Structure 1
Amino acid sequence: MALLNKLVVPTEGTHNEHSVKDVLGTSRESQVFTPEWKNYEKILFRFFFIYFSLQVIPLDWKYYRDLISLDWFSLHFGNFFYLAHYTPRFFSNVPVFEDWLVTGAIAIAGAIVWGLADQRRREYNKLYYWLRVALRYRLAAALLAYGFIKFFPMQMPLPSLSNLNTHYGDIADWKVFSMSTGIVPGYESFLGLVEISAALLLLYRKTASIGAFIIIPFTGNVILSNLAYEGGEYVYGSLLASFAIFLLAYDVPRLISLTSQEKITSPPRFKPSFADDSIRNARIILKSVFVFVFVVLYAFRTYASYSEDIYQYPNSKGLAGASGIYTVTQFSINGKELPPSATDPLRWKDVVFEKWATLSIRSNSPVVPQIATTEEIFTDNDDRIYEFSGTTSRHYYTYRIDSAQHVLTLKNRNSHHAADQFTLKYERPANDQIVLSGINAQNDSLRVVLHRIDKKYLLQEAAKQGRRRGLKL
């Protein structure tokens, strides 16, 4: 802890009248006495400075390529999210702990070279200050990126009709957790508000430790949840927690001295001088740009998406008036009608039409699940796989509508079943009935009669009647 509390305020009587006048006429940097750091403190600082600099400063040329290629006049909130989500990755597109080992090895080598070339340095107070500044803003950007997609509840949205009609045992653990949070939008918004508040506290030096203190248990809970439910964000969450721990550690010695030892404790007094107006103005401009981009503009873009297009689900329009779950009353294949069966791999059990252009079919046909455990924000409908990732027992199809010919062209959305494509004609003899006929991907002729079920869902009824009142189903 000694590394984190090197600044000592001089006591009264240590200067004569002339020296006091000199002190008052200089910058804030020289108003405090800075003792020489111990050798091990300088060694540790060199390592942490290089290590965290590599974690914070993007060194991947593709990052800057993507940054330059952005259309700044029609930005999507996902552009801001990925700008704030950078981490050095050496092995895959998904962060892994092995990346930390590589970064640590580079930091050790760099610290050795730095130490040999800079043996006379007494202390690194200025560099320590600027390292904390970089970590504060990097952590704030990450918290804002996740905070707003929770505050406007999109990261874990309400379950789709297909999800609500999938057996619990056919849903992956991480998807269960996501849907369990998504059914309480108010709670998800509160979680986002905590992240946003902590991020705003990090933007100011005097409240940075409070923000770090808040985010350590919050991010710790995210890490444990991802480990328990087999999510994929525990590595990135651990990285953010390490930033917060390092920031909070700066004030830990003073907090212990004040609260546990009950001693008179001076606040940190070190602050680099900004005597040059150009430097002072540049600092204000850069901070203002950060706040405008990651708070104001990002919040506006996120709210716009929440109002018009929740990114987890496709935004293409589905068959008008068809949304709902349908039981399969008749199923004929190659002219032969198949009766309902719990084991038949061919016969459909039920069909769900979503409000968007997704049709899901529950049957005994095996499903190779597609996994998407890390947070991704896509604008292309074909890339939005949240609704069917982490589930089995249902095949999900996107479809195009030819309303003139009454034809649906279906394509299995799961990349493991990409060859499953076919075309069906549809008839609608009644509002609650749909008849599908055509040739499937195996060149078998199909005729399927569907009847919509007037099914009530507890979530929807609770929203209508109020959670505190008795539900009438």
Structure 2
Amino acid sequence: MGDIKDIQWNISQRIYLRFIFLYLLFYIYPYGFEYIQELNTRDISFWPGITTWFGETFLGWEFDKENLLNGFDSKYDYSRFILIALLSVIGTSIWLFIDAKIKRDYNARLNILIKTILRYHIGLTLIIYGLSKVLMLQFGEMDFNRLETTMGNQTGMSFLWAFMSYSKFYTMSTGWIELIGGILLLFRKSTFIGAFILFIAMANVVLIDIGYDVRVKMFAIHLFLMTLILLGDNLKRLYRFFILNTTTKPVEQQALFSNPKAKKIGYSLKGILLLYFVTSSVIIYTDRSAKRTNRYPTVAGFHTVEMMIKNNDTISEINDQRWKNLSISGSSYRPETAVIREVSGRRNSYSFEADTLKKTMILYSIRGNRKAELKLKYKELNHQEFIFEGTHQSDSIWIKTTSKTLKDYPLTANEIRWITDLR
């Protein structure tokens, strides 16, 4: 096979290379640096001002400049994508004009640089998302809040999150696919198999995100197209192998640097980058996993309030301020929280601490100053009935509830059954 430097690049290929390179730079900086997790992109971004101006001037859109919803398929995102495309077209035109003057052929090197940028950007990004799935952090786990939310009251996105949180096996499997594919992209010799795996994985993600109206559709589509570009040199080989059933020749993934000294510098930089990435990921994901740890699993439950007495007066079931239910450790994202829902529909959220020996709970305000709002003692009458009593501000409270644990819901009562009629 001939060296890539011997390839003659026609005008359409040269336009393509320059447009893709510029678009990638504009797109990735700075919002694409998700793998540099300590970086606050707001501090180094020049996009908000120029993007909102462009959207207001040429698209007629209005923006909430305090909440641009960057990354959530917002008007800001689409304005930025269109602006990036226009800037890339203009930049490509200027670049080609300059090339016509200097007459230097560096197209092969530019192609390798684009593939290198794509390898590391896609690889590191999907390693992060793969880890989030493997550790059950992205979608969380099936919890009381999801189990008690009726299907009709969910959005497509929340329905998908509930669907993914149900099965650890499926979610972790998709995470391993993204994680392994991402790792393979970090090495030239395994680029093809990594890109092929992630192309299939991202095709599935794009279909799901569109089908369930997930608010990161354009993010997924961009990653999918990036994997397609990375596979570009192999598309003809794939066609010949799978469709024509003929033999193919290997495509050599050439190094960005050919000079031995430059190669050593490149390997050193790669080592530093990967060392930082691994260290940072271990620290951050250890911290995120720790925040999902529930120190009080025995008090978790969803309580329906059967009777409520406040200051020795029984509160009517139609009183708006009467408690309707109490969810303890109802969210897998924030397990040490409690939510009280009143008859009116109002929700009050608290963090809590429990003493399971003394059977006491202290509920704290979840926002602002950490202040004790409720002090409760609880007593389990049987598996499903509880008594809570204590004080809320200056009021005395006595509550009788019926409780459910995760094992009381058909959806979470059983594990995977290989023999369906074997009990």
Report the TM range for the smaller structure's normalisation: 0.7 to 0.9
Q: Which residue of 2 aligns with 1:133?
A: 116
Give the deviation of 1:270 after TM superposition: 7.3
Q: Is the 8 A contact 1:161 1:325 kept in 2?
A: yes
Q: Please point out which of 148, 155, 161 is paired with 1:165.
A: 148
CA distance in 2, matches of 1:360, 1:459: 22
Higher helix share: 2
Q: Label 1:114 to 1:192 Cα distance change in 2 as closer, same or farther (>3 A).
A: same
Q: Please point out which of 438, 451, 471 is paired with 2:392.
A: 438
Residues 387-412 of structure 1: per-residue CA shift (max 9 Å, x gap): xxxxxxx54333477999x7845436
Q: Which residue of 2 aligns with 1:362?
A: 341
Count of matched residue positions in the alignment of Structure 1 and Structure 2: 384
| Residues 18-37 of structure 1: pairs in structure 2 closer than 5 A | 33-35=6-8, 37=9
Q: Which residue of 1 aligns with 2:162?
A: 179
Residues 256-282 of structure 1: per-residue CA shift (max 9 Å, x gap): 355545676544457358553321212
Give the deviation of 1:135 after TM superposition: 0.8
Q: Which has the higher contact order (CA 8 A, sep 6+)?
A: 1
Q: Which residue of 2 aligns with 1:221?
A: 204
Q: Which residue of 2 aligns with 1:351?
A: 326
Residues 355-413 of structure 1: per-residue CA shift (max 9 Å, x gap): 8442222333245xxxxxxxxxxxxxxxxxxxxxxxxxx54333477999x78454366
Q: Which residue of 2 aligns with 1:338?
A: 315
Provide structure 1 residue ranges, at least 5 long, that are not aligned to the other structure: 1-7, 10-27, 68-77, 368-393
Say which SS state the counterpart of residue 374 (structure 2) adopts: strand
Say which SS state the counterpart of residue 414 (structure 2) adopts: helix
Q: Is the 8 A contact 2:240 2:246 kept in 1?
A: yes
Q: Please point out which of 1, 15, 18 is paired with 1:43.
A: 15
RMSD of aligned Cα (Å): 4.1
TM-score after normalising by structure 2: 0.75
Residues 312-349 of structure 1: per-residue CA shift (max 9 Å, x gap): xxx6856x9543233323224576423435xx533222
The yes-or-no answer on 1:461 pairing with 2:413 is yes
TM-score after normalising by structure 1: 0.68
CA distance in 1, matches of 2:165, 2:11: 51
Give the deviation of 1:114 after TM superposition: 0.9
Q: Label 1:217 to 1:128 Cα distance change in 2 as closer, same or farther (>3 A).
A: same
CA distance in 1, matches of 2:96, 2:188: 29
CA distance in 1, matches of 2:148, 2:314: 25
Q: Label 1:33 to 1:235 Cα distance change in 2 as closer, same or farther (>3 A).
A: closer
Provide structure 2 residue ranges, at least 5 long, that are not aligned to the other structure: 53-67, 72-76
The yes-or-no answer on 1:204 pairing with 2:180 is no
Give the deviation of 1:188 after TM superposition: 1.0
| Residues 285-434 of structure 1: pairs in structure 2 closer than 5 A | 285-294=268-277, 296-297=278-279, 300-301=282-283, 304-305=286-287, 308-310=290-292, 322-332=299-309, 336-341=313-318, 344-354=319-329, 356-366=335-345, 394-399=347-352, 408-411=362-365, 423-428=373-378, 432-434=386-388
Q: Which residue of 2 aligns with 1:450?
A: 400
The yes-or-no answer on 1:238 pairing with 2:221 is yes
Q: Is the 8 A contact 1:395 1:412 kept in 2?
A: no
Give the deviation of 1:305 after TM superposition: 4.6
Q: Is the 8 A contact 1:150 1:156 kept in 2?
A: yes
Q: Is the 8 A contact 2:189 2:253 kept in 1?
A: no
Which protein is bigger by CA-based radius of gyration? 1
CA distance in 2, matches of 1:411, 1:358: 10
Q: Is the 8 A contact 1:358 1:396 kept in 2?
A: yes
Q: Label 1:250 to 1:340 Cα distance change in 2 as closer, same or farther (>3 A).
A: same
Amino-acid identity (%): 19
